[in-house]
Structure 1
Amino acid sequence: MERESMEVDVVIVGAGPSGLATACRLGQIAQESGQELSVVVVEKGSEVGAHILSGAVFEPRALNELFPNWKELGAPLNTEVGGDEIFYFTGAEKGSKVPNPFVPKTMHNEGNYVISLGNLCRWLAEQAEGLGIEVFPGFAATEVLYNEDGSVKGIATGDSGIDHNGEKKPSYTPGMELHAKYTVFSEGCRGHLGKGLMEKFNLREGVDPQHYGLGIKELWEIDPAKHQQGLVVHTAGWPLSESGSHGGGFLYHMEDNQVTLGLITDLGYSNPHVSPFDEMQRWKTHPEIKKFLEGGKRVSYGARAIAKGGLQSLPKMTFPGGLLVGCDAGTLNFAKIKGNHTAMKSGMIAAEVISKAIKDGRGSDELTEYKSQFESSWVFEELHTQRNFGPAQHKFGNLLGSAFAFVDLNILNGKMPFTMRDTTPDHDTLKPADQCKKISYPKPDGKLTFNKLDSVFLSNTNHEEDQPCHLTLKDPSVPIEYNLPKYDEPAQRYCPAGVYEVVEDESTGDKRFQINAQNCVHCKTCDIKDPTQNIHWVAPEGTGGPNYPNM
């Protein structure tokens, strides 16, 4: 069976905020100008929003531009931020609230909203469809297609009905090719097609390595007496400070007596014994967090890496036949801990450039004008102003790094006469296990703290079991022969879903590396943090993975 093909003007890979903003703006331009544009969005999740996970305190700047009447249209922005609190935890029971005048101004959230990004993406998909865009959930883009001249021709969706040995099952269905004048890659952080495009077109030449954090999130229903709708709480310090790691926690009060909370662990940590999942469980036991959760019920769980390198890590975003937008490129503003507004705006700029190019009769060439339009936008200005925040956190730690940020942002307005660099990739930061302090994490109590497998159950994660493993090893010997003796195989701990295990044969004592791909929540941490870059994440069959409600 050969793959069928479909010719369109624009293919968009990924129905996150950047991809859907691109689609909506293309639809608007077509309606306003009478231009005929055929646009297709493919999304690997079982539905739009199924794989979307974000804090999220949402800055509506880009949405205001895209849909000025979003309130009348029913956008799910229901809870305006009503208060900001920032704490620095100095221990398991200790900490202090940071006085408002000393908080970097990027952490103030007046005019922002506590939202479910998954629900916002579902709403954006409805708007896109109303503008004539075709949105296809359940189709994983697995391959970039190229024209004879080397330009991007489009993408192919993955075959389904292939067993774990690569053989065709009776249910086999070939994927489909989507050919386009231009293809927009909006896969989110560490998109696997975007990663390949960066290598093929050398898009990272001259820029710093991308840097990442792992965000682990839970959704709780809490006692109405403890609920303060619109309250936004951020924390730094303990427990990550005990292992020399960086990052911080968040707890946001949504509507309906729900709170969304989590911990972001900087993936530049050096101690291979660190378990971001267990750090997050421990963080919840601090009195300032526990006081909201006691008597409540955990209703959902998820995890996702974020690209936080900022301006210095931003690759070239154009190549013949396509663009990278949003977190596929790395447009998140870490000084704000926000990337949804910047991702949307990057997609909106892409739409304007693409529609003009197609109107001018172009196709498959490089949209070099995108660079100048991006650099003249408020996204670039914002990233440039706050460019030193992330490197300062890495260099000085949370406390001194935040003090530096206060001077840089509040006093000098981001006009330091230098740009800090951070040139060590996150996978190169681990020290040998025998040089680092072992960490003994407390056992979960099943009420406030939980284990990985029970957590994965709440993410509604599912994959067709009899399919090729989507977590591929370049060299299967590396985990046991190299990573285990040197780093105590850190995949056992950095994965927040219990995917990786070192299993010992009781009779022989031999050890093997086991991959429980069924558990994978598509966070991409393994692809980022493996010290030898031996793990390569590829898309599983469409609809596989988590199914997040209200996340």
Structure 2
Amino acid sequence: MQRDVMEYDVLIVGAGPAGLSAAIKLKQLALEANREISICILEKGSEVGAHILSGAVIDPIALNELIPDWKEKGAPLNTQVQEDRFLILSKKNSWKIPEFLLPPLMSNHGNYIISLGNLCRWLGEQAEALGVEIYPGFSGFEILYNEDGAVKGIVTGDMGIGRDGHEKPGFAPGMELHAKYTLIAEGTRGSLTKQLEAKFNLRADAEPQKYGLGFKEIWQLTPEKHQAGLVMHSQGWPLDNSTGGGSFVYHLENNMAAVGFVVHLNYSNPYLSPFGEFQKFKSHPTISTMLKDAKRISYGARTINEGGLQSLPKLVFAGGALIGCSAGLVNLPRIKGSHNAMKSGMLAAEAAFEALKESRQHDELSNYPEKLRASWIWQDLDQVRNIKPALSKYGNLLGSIYGGIEMWLQAFEIRLPWTLNHGKADNETLKPASASQRIAYPKPDNSITFDRLSSIFLSNVQHEEDQPCHLKLKDSAIPININLALYDAPEQRYCPAGVYEIIGDSGNERLQINAPNCIHCKACDIKDPTQNINWQPPEGGGGPNYIGM
């Protein structure tokens, strides 16, 4: 097939905080050195920010370094944190942990409550003003290699293929984008990242990556319930002691609040529904009182890297590097990764610029991981490296106590000499349905709690209906013979968008995949017990179109 070919110095896949920061830093370095560097960013969303979802309370440390005059340039950081509140929940009550008992690391003072999607839109404007080419609506489908095996770029997905696999009128083949260096910034569990990890064995020395599934809704509160700058987190109900996770409630400007919930995907009960747990959380008196007479504006979900240092893959390969959530740089107890993502993009940009100055291409940017290890990213992750494995090993109560002690020791520059292991991958943790207890989830009241279909309507999800299913089964028999038989088809419950359904009478069941519902969270790719589901990007521009998330 004849494809158009475009050549660049640096190709970046993903217009999130890491990819955009990398592009901006490269252009800044090029301007300082009076050099020309061609940069292209490929973004699968319909626009920059369309697929971005995060809490988000951002530590501005990386933004301060990248664009020191961001306030004068109108960056959308409008609400500084005014109060930290941490609660322990039972079914009916809540207890506030005094702020002085929380480790200093957990303080959010000096941080900002933002829409990460809006910040990315603004960063996109800054990048384009510097001459970066950004192409939204194009998905990276396949890695391209030189004869010596080095990465030379990517192929974008074909447009205009019917569900039957045949070309429709208006068919357009994907483009080949070639570059001297390719930076992968496609977010959690990216399809290209998986290809690269397999090709270059990048995870040979890493523990399994760990994940959480995060939900977020934007609510417009009544003025008397709104407190601009309030940051509230909770642990406890509705999750049991063996199921990790917790909530966040962030009060933005204009009476808006972000209400969210995270469930760690190493849970063991196949009857658990992360979406259902989120709805139950909102029924807690503390939350339902706040949401009374409020209006839900938007909904979304995405997976989060939680493995930390132990789960970092090798970050470089011949011809490029992994940055941001493609690398896995989230600080779990802080629930923050954007500052590390941005800094990783900046460090990779420095490494790529040095290579280009030396007229190198398609080799390993070996000084990028060296720069990362010497940066504050490494310190940020190192001081919390034991928190996630402690929660998994000891449960929420003892794990949180252990984590609190270790974080307090870190405040006095006391580093414990051991590093705990994660153990199993998240897809390996389910117990058989026969050994698990069913969980009853109340019917939605359509005021504070809702069903999945009405929720995904608020995500503005759109896919071309007549296109091949982007959720591929390696073996079509496994959903019934293994997932249904052993685990009562957990994909029906862990998917936050109602993509997977078992239909048919007993003995004649089959799995129905409602691919147009998909909001690109990747939970199925992560949690499927036999790793039988392979998430691939649909036609570029498909998926959610988040606003203000």
| TM-score scaled by length of structure 1 | 0.98
1:102 shift after superposition: 2.2
Residue range with higher mean Cα deviation, 413-422 or 282-291: 413-422
Match of 1:515 in 2: 513
1:389 shift after superposition: 1.2
Q: In 2, distance between residues paired with 1:263 and 1:371?
A: 32
Match of 1:130 in 2: 129
SS in 2 for 1:240: coil
Match of 2:501 in 1: 501
Residue 268, structure 1, aligned to residue 256, structure 2: no
Match of 2:51 in 1: 51
> Does the Cα contact within 8 Å between 1:331 and 1:343 map onto a contact in 2?
yes
Match of 2:333 in 1: 335
Q: In 1, distance between residues paired with 2:299 and 2:330?
A: 22
1:444-483 matched pairs, under 5 angstroms: 444-483=444-483
Read off the aligned partner of 2:120 and give its amino acid letter: C
Percentage identity across paired residues of the two chains: 56
SS in 1 for 2:235: strand
1:257 shift after superposition: 0.4
1:112-131 matched pairs, under 5 angstroms: 112-131=111-130
Read off the aligned partner of 2:176 and give its amino acid letter: E
Match of 2:431 in 1: 431
* 1:42-99 CA distance string (max 9 Å, x none): 0000000000000000000000000000000000000000000001112x20221112
SS in 1 for 2:52: coil
Match of 1:306 in 2: 304
Match of 1:22 in 2: 22
1:401 shift after superposition: 1.6
Q: In 2, distance between residues paired with 1:439 and 1:186?
A: 37
Match of 1:408 in 2: 406
1:335 shift after superposition: 2.1
* 1:131-171 CA distance string (max 9 Å, x none): 11001100111111000000001011110000011100012
> Does the Cα contact within 8 Å between 1:102 and 1:406 map onto a contact in 2?
no
Q: In 2, distance between residues paired with 1:149 and 1:270?
A: 44
Residue 394, structure 1, aligned to residue 392, structure 2: yes
Match of 1:172 in 2: 171
RMSD (Å) for aligned C-alpha atoms: 1.0
Residue range with higher mean Cα deviation, 381-390 or 518-527: 381-390
Q: In 1, distance between residues paired with 2:148 and 2:477?
A: 38
Match of 2:531 in 1: 533
> Does the Cα contact within 8 Å between 1:105 and 1:406 map onto a contact in 2?
no
Read off the aligned partner of 1:285 and give its amino acid letter: S
Counterpart of 1:254 (choices 252, 255, 280) is 252
Read off the aligned partner of 2:368 and give its amino acid letter: Y
Residue 71, structure 1, aligned to residue 71, structure 2: yes
1:74-85 matched pairs, under 5 angstroms: 74-85=74-85
Q: In 2, distance between residues paired with 1:290 and 1:276?
A: 19
Residue 158, structure 1, aligned to residue 151, structure 2: no
Q: In 1, distance between residues paired with 2:339 and 2:265?
A: 23
Read off the aligned partner of 1:430 and give its amino acid letter: L
* 1:270-301 CA distance string (max 9 Å, x none): 00000000100000011111121110000100
Q: In 2, distance between residues paired with 1:160 and 1:83?
A: 48
Residue 383, structure 1, aligned to residue 351, structure 2: no
Match of 1:441 in 2: 441
SS in 2 for 1:440: coil
1:393 shift after superposition: 1.4
Residue range with higher mean Cα deviation, 395-404 or 286-295: 395-404
SS in 2 for 1:22: helix
> Does the Cα contact within 8 Å between 1:31 and 1:131 map onto a contact in 2?
no
Match of 2:484 in 1: 484
1:396 shift after superposition: 1.8
Structure 1 runs of 4+ aligned residues shifted over 3 Å read: none
Q: In 2, distance between residues paired with 1:180 and 1:254?
A: 40
Read off the aligned partner of 1:169 and give its amino acid letter: K
Q: In 2, distance between residues paired with 1:466 and 1:317?
A: 37
Match of 1:106 in 2: 105
1:509 shift after superposition: 5.3
Residue 549, structure 1, aligned to residue 524, structure 2: no
1:412 shift after superposition: 4.0
Read off the aligned partner of 1:222 and give its amino acid letter: L
Aligned residues: 547
SS in 2 for 1:72: coil
* 1:386-443 CA distance string (max 9 Å, x none): 1111111111222222211221111344601111111210000000011011001000
> Does the Cα contact within 8 Å between 1:14 and 1:185 map onto a contact in 2?
yes
SS in 2 for 1:71: coil
SS in 2 for 1:150: coil
> Does the Cα contact within 8 Å between 1:104 and 1:405 map onto a contact in 2?
no
Residue range with higher mean Cα deviation, 179-188 or 287-296: 287-296
SS in 1 for 2:72: helix
Residue range with higher mean Cα deviation, 399-408 or 439-448: 399-408
* 1:216-248 CA distance string (max 9 Å, x none): 110100101110000000000110117x31100
SS in 2 for 1:323: strand
Q: In 2, distance between residues paired with 1:248 and 1:395?
A: 17
Q: In 2, distance between residues paired with 1:461 and 1:256?
A: 25
SS in 1 for 2:240: helix
> Does the Cα contact within 8 Å between 1:88 and 1:95 map onto a contact in 2?
yes
Match of 1:222 in 2: 221
Q: In 2, distance between residues paired with 1:520 and 1:105?
A: 39
Residue range with higher mean Cα deviation, 98-107 or 140-149: 98-107
Counterpart of 2:285 (choices 262, 284, 287) is 287
In structure 1, stretches of 5+ residues that fail to align are none
SS in 1 for 2:216: strand
* 1:21-53 CA distance string (max 9 Å, x none): 001101111111111100000000000000000
> Does the Cα contact within 8 Å between 1:104 and 1:402 map onto a contact in 2?
no
* 1:285-318 CA distance string (max 9 Å, x none): 1111112111000010000000010000001100
> Does the Cα contact within 8 Å between 2:228 and 2:252 map onto a contact in 1?
yes
1:504 shift after superposition: 1.2
Q: In 2, distance between residues paired with 1:222 and 1:79?
A: 16
SS in 2 for 1:335: coil
1:101 shift after superposition: 2.3
